[in-house]
Structure 1
Amino acid sequence: MQANKSALSISVLGLLSLMNSERGVAGGLMLYEIATDNAGLANAGAAARAQGPSTIASNPAGLSYLSGTQMTAGAQILFGNLSFDRDGDTNTPGTGSGNVLDPIPGVSFFISHQLDDQWSVGFGSYGDFGLAENYDNDWSGRYFVQNASIAGLSLVPSVAYRFNEQWSVGLGVKAMYGMLKSEAAINQSPLGLTDRADGQYKYKDSDWGYGANVGVIYAPQPGTRIGLAYTSQVDLDFEDGLDINNSGPLVSRLDGTKLGIDLKVPQTATLSLYRQLDAQWAILASVNWQDWSTFGEVEIDVDTNAGGARATTIDANYKDTYQLALGAQYQMNPDLLWDFGVAYDSSAVSDSNRTLTVPMGAAWRFAAGLTYSLNKETDLNFSWVTVWMGDMSIDQTKSLSGSRVSGEFDNAWLQALSANMTWRY
């Protein structure tokens, strides 16, 4: 179990990222909302819409449907409630968790250019993988996690080719910059045998990973598009020395230990439909799959007893997730377009395997958006989404120290508010 790989507790709750990311929980850490109008549709039709340069993130083949040069810039704020309620089986003293979700801002940028009737190119910068959680340092689960974040910023140059009126293909080369930080307390008085204060470990590293976005769009008739998009796995390999603070002889030997954390950002596949019913209404749908079963042993547990300290890796026991999304667009007048969407995501962890560091569960997503045309060249979009995760029970016990935390995240939810503008030249 790689004891010398060492003492880190990655906290993986499903949420957000770095200065360039913004999505809600999507059955895991892969995110759907990235400060684009896709947020108002709950991902419905994402691989088939091709209604702006942000198609780079969902299906690069959509670039072939964009004329001239187009540019989209967006900003978003994500906030919510994720608070852990202890029950009577918790035996570790301390405070409550508080709301571990701080408001998180983010931005995205996309640009596309039509070279000729067949070739189009583009570039996107967005965050589609991440989390952030901030527990109180003295809370009852501090030996499992205190603070943690992981962020993935994707830079994606893309190209698309249109064979004819029916078929288009696209390719994006993805360079993802990942950053990871984690810290948790270390019990230096296991079983209450001494009165030594808690120690703490910290870890911080960054890495580049590479992959690809590929897609195809088939238009059997005007106003109908079927899109299939695939995103390859991206490997992020973090390695740094463990920084132990306030340590006594029980855990001091772990200080400086090299840590190796190999994260596999899952491959995904999305099948989408866009169907224009008439001059006002369009319906959209998506089915999405994410390969979380390959995420692997990414959690590391630091545990202590009177005889010493131990660090072991923990299998995440993740499983693949699926999403079904349905949506509609209503053209109220030539200047005003409404978006609506609802989606369901399965959970990447079963109830028995859910941990404080990975408080994920099934989620319902409810979304709406409004796009206003300022003129023929400029659109302004506002979108809103609520993700409802409900109650998520957790019962964890450390095998050496016997520290136990039991209870549930009660009525967990998050919301994202985004605004973006698109210019056409």
Structure 2
Amino acid sequence: MPTRTATLPALTLIALCCQQAHAGGIMLYEIATDNVGLANAGAAARAQGPSTIASNPAGMSYLPGTQITAGLQMLYGDIKFNRDDDTNVSGSGSGNALDPMAGGSFFISHELDDHWSVGFGQYGDFGLAVNYDNDWAGRYFSQNSSLLGLSLVPSVAYRFNEQWSVGVGVKAMYGMLQAQTAIDRSPFGLTDRADGQFKYKDKDWGFGANVGVIYAPQPGTRIGLAYTSKVDLKFEDGLDIKGNGPLLNRLDGAKTRLDMTVPQTVTLSLYQQLDKQWALLASVNWQDWSQFGDIGVQVDTSANDARSTNIDAGFKDTWHLSLGGQYQATRQLLWNFGVAYDSSAVSDSKRSVIVPMAESWRIATGATYALDKDTDVNLSWAMIWMGDMEVDQNKSLSGNRISGQFDSAWIQAVTGNMTWRF
């Protein structure tokens, strides 16, 4: 049986310690840390807690003693598809494709001496989940799918002097993938046979690195540059086909390989202390989504044929710009706020119900309160606005077409975390 190469449909992260949210593609800034309230502004330069392991491991060199941050996060939103008259498949509306979901993260750092620091992070900053109603009009393109990318990152940092610090982390990403899509067993309405369905499920490990440097030209000013390498995930399983018939039986069990490249990224950030109360933060980020590949495998049918083919993502690289501030309102209370823009990884002509993404805007805020000199608690909130997203997809054999748009799509994140210093 033929081997197919593809990648899983993409929208948002779901489950375990991973989060759901949109970045330029499906890389996430919301990982249950205080960074949520800043919209990622200054992420590679702040060095204000052990969660810097995720954004720039060099930041550990600024953390005295042993510090631990643990966070929980709830995400919810509204991503609904409204079909138009060009849709030629019967079925219900999509329902809200984004289910509310909780997640979390954990970080620890330890200062060995005046130069060396070590740490460990567990978080999810890559992934997706889409969950449509099973009988909706776009069921032949996607019903539900999920991808988890849980990262385990042991890290080390070295501080040369008051100006320069470097850090590196080895990233082990555990990828978990599953997908489910309906199959049209009555193309063009020639018969009254019920829909078939195919399922796919597999797991894999991928490995990469986080590397960063921080330069502090003067007290109160930090410039951070961070790089995360690509991570290759390779999934392989047989298509699990439901639906009798000689055409579909040929595809049942067909070994299907899905190759995915988690993109490399580069982030440049600034942290500038303006006075005893105010600080300015900014970030510029690039993500290499053009190397992602295909977004999925689909089964298409006609009266005398059935095929499994790849769906080309047509992704392009994305850019992120963010600006934020911090205000030390009292000795105990620190207020964070930020705004960010992410370009879209997919053009309007390539957008699909499999990957309902677009450019996005973020507004965010949060507050950190010092319970005592060794314990902080943070609450943060972010709104990600994607707006209207038009879609027009069709299949060549069956002629199935889904056309319409996602109206006023948005996601919100509410995060709580605590930091302990020893």
**TM-score (norm. length: structure 1):** 0.98
| Secondary structure at 1:141 match in 2 | coil
Residue equivalent to 1:143: 140
Deviation of 1:131 after TM superposition, in Å, equals 0.8
Q: Tell me the distance in 1 between the aligned counterparts of 2:354 and 2:270.
A: 36
Deviation of 1:373 after TM superposition, in Å, equals: 0.2
| Alignment counterpart, residue 82 of structure 1, candidates 69, 79, 83 | 79
Q: CA deviation at 1:7?
A: 9.5
Q: Which amino acid aligns with 1:181?
A: Q
Amino acid at match of 1:336: L
Amino acid at match of 2:43: A
Structure 2 letter corresponding to 1:350: S
CA distance in 2, matches of 1:9, 1:178: 12
* Whole-Å separation in 1 of the counterparts to 2:224 and 2:24: 22
Which of the residues 107, 112, 126 maps onto 2:123? Answer: 126
Q: Give 1:335-354 correspondences, 5 Å limit.
A: 335-354=332-351
390-399 vs 309-318, greater mean Cα deviation: 309-318
TM-score (norm 2): 0.99
For residues 366 and 274 of structure 1, do their structure 2 counterparts lie closer, same or farther at Cα, with a shift above 3 Å needed? same
How many angstroms does 1:163 deviate by? 0.2
Q: CA deviation at 1:252?
A: 1.5
Specify the code of the residue in structure 2 equivalent to 1:250.
L
Match of 1:317 in 2: 314
Q: Distance in 2 between matches of 1:151 and 1:121?
A: 26
CA distance in 2, matches of 1:127, 1:82: 21
CA deviation after TM superposition for structure 1 residue 315, in Å: 1.6
Assess if the C-alpha contact under 8 Å between 1:153 and 1:176 holds in 2: yes
Q: Find 2:272's aligned residue among 270, 275, 297.
A: 275
- Report if aligned partners of 1:71, 1:111 keep a CA contact under 8 Å in 2: yes
Deviation at 1:6, TM superposition (A): 4.1
The one of 412, 415, 419 aligned to 1:418 = 415
- The residue aligned with 2:327 is 330
C-alpha distance in 2, partners of 1:132/1:279?
A: 43
CA RMSD, Structure 1 to Structure 2 (Å) = 1.1
Distance 1:220 1:177, change over 3 A: same
Q: CA deviation at 1:274?
A: 0.1
1:313 positional shift: 1.2
Distance 2:32 2:294 in 1: 31
Q: Which runs of 5+ in 2 are unaligned?
A: none
| 1:98 matched residue in structure 2 | 95
Asked if residue 63 in structure 1 is aligned to residue 64 in structure 2, the reply is: no
Deviations 1:1-37 (A, max 9, x none): xx92349883211x12331112520011100010000
The percent of aligned pairs where both chains have the same amino acid is: 69
- Which amino acid is 2:104 matched to? V
- Which residue, out of 9, 22, 26, partners 1:11? 9
Distance 2:421 2:7 in 1: 46
1:9 and 1:183 in contact (8 A); partners too: no
Structure 2 counterpart of 1:260, which letter?
R
Q: Which amino acid aligns with 1:346?
A: S
Q: How does 1:218-367 map to 2 (within 5 A)?
A: 218-367=215-364
- Residue aligned with 2:32, SS: coil
List structure 1 runs of 4+ shifted beyond 6 angstroms. Answer: none
**Structure 1 residue ranges without an equivalent (≥5):** none
